[in-house]
Amino acid sequence: PYPKGSLFVKRLTGVPGSVVSTKGRDFFVDGRPVGHAKERARTGESLEIGPVGTIPEAHYYVAGEHPDSLDSRYRLTGWITRQQIVGTAHRIF
């Protein structure tokens, strides 16, 4: 749904070997809550949940700060690969 080459800032919450699980549409990484997956986007489109299980080598679970963030909770994003990471963001105080 975004132009090719768009960049996103997300929080890295799961690394290779972490276990992603769900209870209903609530997501957990190694037992820590990381977000709730909505059933529908603001546009009304259905949102399928992302993958669960052990994160494989060179893959990562990412989460956004906003409840409407498109992140690893959703199949459209899923776990990202190392090649998709282009840098590190730091908060400026």
Q: How far apart are CA 24 and CA 46, in angstroms?
A: 16
64 neighbors 92 (Cβ within 8 angstroms):
no
Q: How far apart are CA 22 and CA 10, in angstroms?
A: 20
Reported pTM: 0.90
Kindly state the DSSP code that residue 83 receives in the 8-state scheme. Answer: G
Return the amino acid letter for 3. P
Burial per residue of 31-52, b for 16 or more beta-carbon CB atoms within 10 angstroms, e otherwise: eeebbebeeeeeeeeebebbee
Model pLDDT for residues 14-31, shown as the tens digit of each residue = 999 999 999 999 999 999
Model pLDDT for residues 39-66, shown as the tens digit of each residue = 999 889 999 999 999 999 999 999 998 9
